[in-house]
Homo-oligomer: A and B are copies of this chain.
């Protein structure tokens, strides 16, 4: 399962060095997860309604290049099952026009019920996470 989208860098995301502040990468990773889930036909809001939550248990980012205010970034997100009750979202962010790398990383999520206890993933979750790639643009 894979999805590509674009996001535009906000002034509020830039720091005194003129590039995005390091924690913003994780905000963008979330935008990637959100849109990836939507393309499956089951937006993440509905995952929660169905009793499945994906609390983050680990995050990793490699910072590869600058991104200034108003730059358009191409965000590519892939999801894979990892172990029995975890999912990993791999995210690759680059400048949309030049393809110059901006950052790359992943978040690992537990599959949990609404009170946060780990659960064995329902079949619809497994099915979604093993579907073929979906991309826009």
Contacts and interface: CB of A to CB of B under 8 A. Distances in A.
Interface of A: 8, 10-12, 14-18, 21-27, 30-31, 34, 43-45, 53, 55-63, 68-70, 107, 116
B15 A23 contact: no
A26 B23 contact: yes
B60 A59 contact: yes
Give how many copies assemble into the complex: 4
Contact of A22 (B53, B59, B62): B59
What 9 pairs across the A-B complex have the smallest Cβ distances?
Answer: A23-B26, A23-B23, A22-B56, A14-B16, A59-B61, A12-B27, A60-B60, A45-B70, A16-B18
Nearest to A35: B8
Given A11-B16, A34-B70, 5 more contacts: A11-B21, A12-B27, A23-B25, A43-B70, A60-B61
21 contacts: A10-B27, A10-B31, A11-B34, A12-B15, A12-B23, A14-B16, A16-B69, A17-B116, A22-B107, A23-B23, A23-B24, A26-B26, A34-B70, A45-B69, A55-B63, A56-B63, A58-B62, A58-B63, A59-B59, A59-B60, A60-B60
